[in-house]
Amino acid sequence: MVKFILGRVFSGAFVVLVVVSITFFLLRIVPGGPFDTEKKLPPQIQKNIEEKYKLNEPFLKQYTRYLKNLGMGDFGPSYKYIDRTVNDIIRDTLPVSIQLGVVSLIIAIIIGVAGGIISASRPRGFFDFLSVSFATALVSVPSFVVGALLIYIFAIKLGWFPAALWGGADHLVLPALTLAAGPAAYLARLTRASMLETSQATFVRTARAKGLSEFMVVIKHILKNALIPVVTVLGPITAFLITGSFVVEQIFAIPGMGRFFVFAVSNRDYPLVMGITVVYTVVLVLANLIVDICYVYLDPRITFNKGKL
Reported as a single tens digit per residue, the pLDDT across 273-290 is 899 889 888 888 888 888
pTM: 0.78
Contacts for 112 with CB less than 8 Å, ≥ 6 apart: 183, 184, 185, 186, 187, 188, 190, 191
Q: Select the highest-mean-pLDDT range: 66-70, 238-242, 297-301.
A: 66-70
Contacts for 298 with CB less than 8 Å, ≥ 6 apart: 224, 225, 227, 228, 231
Q: For the chain, what percent of residues have pLDDT higher than 70?
A: 90
CATH 1.10.3720.10 domain position(s) in the chain: 92-298
Q: What is the pLDDT of residue 62?
A: 86
Q: If one looks up domain 92-298 in CATH, what number appears?
A: 1.10.3720.10
pLDDT of 73-108, one tens digit each?
A: 889 888 888 888 899 999 988 888 888 888 998 999
pLDDT at 306 exceeding the cut of 50:
no
Query: Would you say 113 and 187 are in contact if contact means Cβ atoms under 8 Å apart?
Result: yes
Measured CA to CA, the distance from residue 88 to residue 86 in angstroms comes to 5
Measured CA to CA, the distance from residue 187 to residue 117 in angstroms comes to 10
User: What is the phi/psi pair of residue 86, to 5°?
Assistant: -65, -35
| 286-291 contacts at long range (C-beta below 8 A, 24 or more positions apart) | 286/12, 287/234, 287/235, 287/236, 287/238, 287/239, 287/242, 288/12, 288/235, 288/236, 289/5, 289/8, 289/9, 289/12, 290/235, 291/231, 291/232, 291/234, 291/235
Measured CA to CA, the distance from residue 238 to residue 102 in angstroms comes to 8
What's the pLDDT band for 123 if we cut at 50, 70, 90?
A: confident
Q: In terms of residues, how long is the chain?
A: 309
What's the pLDDT band for 117 if we cut at 50, 70, 90?
A: confident
Amino acid occupying residue 30: V
pLDDT of 152-206, one tens digit each?
A: 999 998 888 988 878 778 888 899 998 888 888 888 888 888 888 888 878 778 8
